[in-house]
Amino acid sequence: MYDDYIVENIDHARLLANKGLIPKEEAALIIKGLMEVNIEIENGTLDFASKREEKQNSVEKCLAEKIGPIATKLHMVC
């Protein structure tokens, strides 16, 4: 099962690609990275507190470690 925050970010990456704000290839890389982060959440290997802000920071840091600077494109506003 996917974490709600991960699902929101996957949907946002798709939206950015569909609107042409990021290339579909980059959206696919972001989504793949988010799925990998979700596995770490499920396995308990991604350490974060229950507060949403702390979860966001942990997920963002982990995603950036996995895919590099493309991760910052997830924060583009439509």
CATH architecture of 4-75: Orthogonal Bundle (1.10)
Distance (Å, whole) CA 27 – CA 33: 10
The model's pLDDT over 1-49, given as tens digits with 9 standing for 90+, comes to 678 889 999 999 999 999 999 999 999 999 999 999 999 988 988 776 6
Confidence of residue 78 (pLDDT cuts 50, 70, 90): low
What's residue 55's pLDDT? Answer: 77
Q: Where are the domains of the chain?
A: 4-75
Residue 76, CA distances (Å) to 21, 54, 56 in order: 8, 20, 15
In terms of average pLDDT, the best of 46-50, 54-58, 73-77 is: 73-77
Please provide residue 10's backbone torsions phi and psi, each rounded to the nearest 5 degrees.
-65, -45
Confidence of residue 54 (pLDDT cuts 50, 70, 90): confident
Distance (Å, whole) CA 27 – CA 1: 21
Residue 55, CA distances (Å) to 2, 5, 24, 41 in order: 14, 8, 26, 10
